[in-house]
Amino acid sequence: MRDIYKWKIEGVSCQGIAERLNQNGILSPMEYKRFIGLRYNTSFKVNTTAVWQSVTVKRILTNAVYIGVLEQGKREKPNYKVRKHVYLPKEKWICKENAHDPIIDSSVYDTVQGLLKQDTRAVKSGASVFPLSGVIICGDCGGAMIRKTNTVKGVRYPYYICGKHRADKNFCSTHNISANECEKAVLTALRLHTSAVLDVEKALACAESIVYRQDGVRKLTARLEAKQDEIRRYNDFRLSLYESYREGVIQKEDFLSFKASYDIKITDAETAALQLKNDIEKMTAGETESHDWINKFRAYSESATLERKTVAELVDGVIVYEGGRLEVMFRLYNEFARLLTALKEGGAA
């Protein structure tokens, strides 16, 4: 599972990952169930031996169970007269975090979810995507830039062009830019930003200032109060539910079903409130959060070339304006800005 997530971040397409798994002789989920003796059948199987498919890989990449989240209540019957189940929107699912030990780090999972939302194109082999695929956009129309190649005397010259202009010459403009020069510019911007991040690291002692701790405690306290209000609301709902059942407004089956749902919500909210209390105690005692995000930048500070994994973890977007001007937006910038603000406040104090 970790390899699947690792390959995705490195730029391998879902189809490419499926091919690697098949080539390495890794059993598909269906064949693994049969291998361990489970009597498992499905109408989706079309071959004698079930192999890995891109849809199987994507299902794994989007399954929150690998980060310790238990998701239930994904579907239900509209009423007792209908046998067919209908799938519910995600906001109606019952989700319990930290239900078990995670296999995948949550930051890795979040990075992959971002990659899956991007419009990417794999190379012809289907093995991987280009470094800036899905993150480079036109600065004027906001459309995706597409990668094309010109061949002159046997030499290939890749470049990016506004996709909407290519489809309709009357819309926007070319925003033509060399792919190699663009990637070099992004790498230079990444190095400069990394240098700034590492400079801030030298002043991390200021993050333990009284101002920083007070700001953190104030925010955590506000979240705790909101969570406690949430618990009170759920308890009120549960009480009114019982009164409705006692007065015969709802049936026993409905009462038990709704009560179980509120019981889970109350338990989850109480767990979250307890964690917030612990965080407040740690911060009050002077224990600050670890800044692991800085290590992500440090890991790529010596990169000689721009790789897909680097872009996936650190770059949020690249905006191309007419004339070749670029704007690079970095991930984790809010953490960087928040730390800078805290350091300035600490210095003023």
Residues in a beta bridge with 319: 137, 327
Q: How many domains does the chain have?
A: 1
Which pair of tokens denotes residue 323?
A: 């004339």
CA dist 120 and 135 (Å) reads: 9
210 in any annotated domain: yes
DSSP letter for 145, please. Answer: E
313 in any annotated domain: no
User: What is 285-343 written as a DSSP string?
Assistant: TT-PPP-HHHHHHHHTTT-SS--HHHHHHHEEEEEE-TTS-EEEEETTHHHHHHHHHHH
What is the domain range of residue 255?
A: 206-284
Helix (H, G, I), strand (E, B) or coil at 86: strand
265 in any annotated domain: yes
Backbone angles phi, psi at 285, to 5 degrees: -80, -5
Which pair of tokens denotes residue 105?
A: 């780090």
The string of pLDDT tens digits covering residues 294-318 is 887 888 877 888 888 888 888 989 9
The string of pLDDT tens digits covering residues 35-60 is 777 766 655 555 567 789 889 999 99
Reported as type and span, the H/E element at residue 200 is helix 179-201
Closest C-alpha to 193, from 314, 108, 306, 111 = 314
244 in any annotated domain: yes
Closest C-alpha to 231, from 268, 256, 257, 261 = 268
Which pair of tokens denotes residue 313?
A: 């973890």
Radius of gyration from C-alpha coordinates of the chain = 26
54 in any annotated domain: no
Its pTM stands at 0.57
The reported pLDDT for the residue numbered 57 is 92
92 in any annotated domain: no
Which pair of tokens denotes residue 84?
A: 């067919």
Q: Is the CB of residue 223 less than 8 Å from the CB of residue 254? A: no
CA dist 289 and 11 (Å) reads: 31
167 in any annotated domain: no
34 in any annotated domain: no
pLDDT < 70 regions, the chain: 39-48, 80, 119-128, 203-212, 285-291, 342-349
Q: Is the CB of residue 162 less than 8 Å from the CB of residue 145? A: yes
Q: Is 315 exposed, middle or buried (0-12, 13-18, 19+ CB in 10 A)?
A: buried
